Structure formats: C-alpha cells, structure tokens
C-alpha cells in the first residue's frame, strides 16, 4: 500500500483539469493506537478555493483520539503511518503521512478509478498502515453523501459541510506465541511468562478451565501469571481473553506434572545410584550430598566424564561441607555412591524425567525412568540397544557385593544375568559404537 500511495502523491501535479478532492490535514507526531476499532475523523473542515478544479480542505485528523505517526522528515525513506482509499480494489486516494509545510494530503480523485468523483453508495475500502505495529488493518465503508455539500456538474461530491467521519471497525486478532516454562509440578505454584500480541490490561488467563492467578500486564506482547498448585496432571490449553472479548488459544500449551515421592534405602559400600526425578539443571553433586546425606552416612559420589574419560569425585571437607569436583546431576546418568552405613527412607520428590540417551562407545553409566507398572529387565534393555552396538550391560548387586552382566552371545543370543532394571539405579553399559537418542520401549 505504501508504494502505491506515494506514487499517487507524486502524480497529483499531472491531474490538472480533473476534478480532485484533496483533504489537507494538520497533525502532531503520535503513533496509531493498537485497538480493535478505528474511528477515522477529519473535523473542522474549511473550504479553500471553492471554484478551483482542485478542492483543498484544511482540518485535523485523529484515529482513536490519537494523531497518526508522520514520516521521519530527516529521512524520506522512513515512512510513517499511512491511510489509503480503494475503489474496486484499486487505489483512489492515499494519505502518506509526510510533512509538507505542516500539511498532509488525502486525495480522492475522479479519474481513472472513480468516474466523476465518489457518489453516495460507493463502497470505499480503507487501509491503515500502522508503522509502530508493523502491520496493516483494512475495512470497507459505504459513502454517505449528504445534501449539504458542494458537488460538481455531475452531482458528485466536491465538499461536504461539517465533520467528515468514517467509522472503521477492524478486528485485530490476539495471538499467543509461547508460555515459559511450559510445564510445572502440581505440588507447588509455577510462575509463567506468556508471549504474544494484542494483550490488554485486565486480560483473563485460563489454563484448561482453571483461571490463573496474579495476572500481570507487562505490555501488549507480555503477560505474567501463576499456575496454582493442585491441578490434575495433564496437558492443558491456554486461553487469553481481553476485556473487549477478543481471545486466543494456544493448544497444547502447558503440562501439569504429578509430583511423585520415592523412598530409597542405601547399604554400606558401593551403591549405583541415579537421581530418580527430573533435574532442571540446578542440582549439582554438592547440593545432592549436602541436601540428602551427611559426612557420617556417605563418603563420596563419583561421575564418569565420557568426554575426558576421567572420574570426577565430590566428597566432604573437614568442616562438613561438600568439596572436590562439582558436577551437574544429569537426567539419564548413573553415579557411584560410596556409603558408610545403612541409610533408610531417603525421600525424593518430583517428576520422572522423559529423556533419550546418548550412549557412547566404551564405558557408560546410565539410568532410565520406568513407569511404576513396567516390568523391564536386562535382556530387554540390551536387545533394544542393539546387537553389534552394546557389548554388555552390568549391575552391581548390593546384597551380594558382586557385579552381574547381560551380554551378547553366539548367534545373536543374549546370555548372562537377566537382572531387573529399576528406577534410581545406575547401570554400566559397554558399547561397541555410539548410539544417540535411544530410549527404552516398555
């Protein structure tokens, strides 16, 4: 629209002899408001040169009680807001918001688009280009020409007394782009940030029928809210409804995860361990030791770095604080935990991780999250990893103090110890080659 509007203004000087209506408007420098309804008003018109073939009307223009945003006068290529009039989908008038001795022009002329000028009942399409929003709004209007007007010889309008008013109703859709975070536990509240377009102050935010609390309007593109605790586990749609009734839905949007509680027991000596629930990345070996154990109960925890092929160890200082190499507790990784004494009923809570594993060539310690009803064993696991990929799968039995292994045997048969694979346990996998994005099937 902008290129056509500017071209029209450039050729106005070549329209001598044609009946032209030019509305010349005085305006200030403000952007168009983002709203559902545009009221396009030219008020206090004053006829200049009534006998001229080019009619000019001076006045002011506002859209939703705000003045349109003009072109940057220091750079002719930086356009401001624009208004265009179209008849039969062809441009018949344009207001390219540009300053010329404090004047702006909206010409609607009779040739070649509208023969002999606009008439009562003509359907004129109006388009508004909103510079600050970077988008165009449009609506068709029907011209209502009153008798109290100056007309040309053919009876068509040249000038109308009183205000020029065009009510332009444009429905600007609300859009939701994302909600972050996109999941949370039902054991506690979750603060979320919602990104989108055309949010209004006072908008209602609903997650699958549950209205969120503490909704805060940041700007037209951002809301914050709180997902309350206690929602049933599941995947929910997100709906935002503005006070004016406009709404949008993002589907699916947010997953409420049920918080599970797991009690673990540990025996003296070596324990193969994995953190049983999803870790957001904030839990490290320091936090694990200090949060769940003590220097009296646990000696240290070790992790195998597959990149450097070295062991990392976190232990205790003389003052009872964690020391040594601090590493992040990762979903899907197993650890060696050296325990000093019997430990019973260590409680963990959270959601099971849902991750795929990268199992590298050589030595790995891995863990998998199993549904409570799953019946999964070593033969199933090594078979699913694949022949010629996995060499062996080993488990340390704390009761016997011995390692047991499942491995590939003659003619692609699996032999060895078919132990049960459990949650919160680490398993040693020796690999012939890398396997990426592997996950078990139950």
CB 318 within 8 A of CB 276: no
Positive or negative: CA dihedral 63, 64, 66, 68: negative
**What is the Cα–Cα distance from 165 to 168, expressed in whole angstroms?**
9
Within 10 angstroms of residue 294's Cβ, the number of other Cβ atoms is 12
DSSP letters along 210-269, please?
A: EE-EEEEEEETTEEEEEEPTTPPSEEEEEEEE-TTS-EEEEEEEEEEE--EEEEEEE-SE
pLDDT tens digit at each of 442 positions of the chain: 333 333 222 222 333 333 344 444 333 333 444 444 455 555 545 444 444 444 444 455 565 566 666 666 676 666 677 777 777 777 766 555 544 434 444 444 433 455 555 566 777 777 777 776 677 777 676 666 555 555 555 555 555 555 555 555 556 789 999 999 999 888 888 999 999 998 999 999 999 999 999 999 999 999 999 999 889 989 999 999 999 888 999 999 999 988 888 899 999 999 999 999 888 778 999 999 999 999 999 999 999 999 899 999 999 999 999 999 999 999 999 999 999 999 999 999 887 777 789 999 999 999 998 876 788 999 999 999 999 899 999 999 988 889 999 999 888 899 999 999 998 999 999 999 999 999 998 7
Within 10 angstroms of residue 188's Cβ, the number of other Cβ atoms is 11
Which structural domains are found in the chain, ordered by start? Answer: 2-169 (no CATH), 175-257 (2.60.40.10), 261-438 (no CATH)
**What is the Cα–Cα distance from 259 to 97, expressed in whole angstroms?**
58
Question: What residues contact residue 177 under an 8 Å CB cut-off, 6+ apart?
Answer: 195, 196, 197, 250
């Amino acid at each position: 629209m902008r290129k056509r509007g500017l071209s029209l203004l450039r050729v106005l000087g070549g329209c001598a002899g044609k009946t032209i209506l030019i509305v010349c408007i005085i305006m200030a420098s403000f952007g168009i408001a983002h709203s559902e309804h545009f009221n396009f008003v030219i008020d206090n018109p004053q006829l200049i040169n009534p006998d001229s073939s080019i009619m000019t009307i001076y006045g002011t223009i506002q859209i939703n009680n705000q003045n349109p945003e003009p072109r940057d006068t220091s750079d002719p290529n930086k356009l401001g807001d624009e208004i265009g009039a179209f008849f039969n989908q062809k441009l018949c008038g344009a207001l390219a918001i540009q300053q010329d001795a404090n004047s702006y022009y909206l010409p609607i002329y009779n040739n070649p688009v509208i023969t002999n000028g606009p008439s009562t009942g003509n359907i004129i399409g109006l388009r508004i280009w909103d510079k600050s929003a970077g988008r165009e709004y449009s609506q068709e209007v029907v011209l209502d020409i009153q008798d109290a007007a100056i007309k040309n010889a053919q009876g068509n309008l040249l000038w109308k007394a009183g205000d020029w008013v065009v009510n332009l109703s444009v429905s600007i859709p609300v859009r939701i782009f994302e909600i972050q975070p996109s999941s949370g536990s039902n054991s506690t509240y979750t603060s979320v940030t919602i990104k989108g377009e055309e949010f209004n102050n006072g908008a209602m935010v609903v997650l699958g029928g549950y209205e969120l609390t503490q909704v805060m309007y940041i700007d037209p593109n951002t809301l914050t809210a709180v997902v309350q605790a206690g929602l049933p586990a599941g995947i929910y749609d997100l709906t935002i409804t503005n006070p004016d009734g406009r709404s949008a839905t993002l589907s699916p949007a947010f997953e409420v995860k049920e918080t599970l509680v797991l009690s673990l027991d540990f025996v003296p000596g070596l324990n193969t361990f994995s953190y049983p629930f999803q870790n957001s990345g904030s839990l490290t070996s320091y936090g694990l030791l200090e949060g769940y154990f003590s220097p009296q109960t646990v000696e240290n925890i070790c992790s195998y770095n597959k990149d450097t092929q070295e062991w990392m160890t976190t232990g205790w200082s003389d003052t009872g604080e964690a020391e040594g190499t601090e590493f992040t507790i990762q979903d899907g990784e197993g650890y060696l935990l050296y325990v000093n004494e019997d430990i019973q009923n260590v409680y963990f809570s959270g959601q099971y991780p849902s991750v795929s594993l990268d199992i590298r060539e050589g030595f790995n310690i891995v863990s998998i999250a199993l549904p409570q009803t799953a019946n999964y064993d070593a033969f199933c696991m090594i078979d699913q990893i694949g022949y010629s990929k996995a060499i062996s799968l080993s488990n340390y039995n704390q009761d016997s103090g011995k390692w047991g292994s499942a491995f590939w045997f003659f003619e692609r048969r699996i032999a060895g110890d078919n132990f049960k694979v459990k949650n919160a346990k680490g398993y040693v996998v020796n690999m012939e080659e890398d396997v990426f994005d592997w996950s078990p099937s139950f």
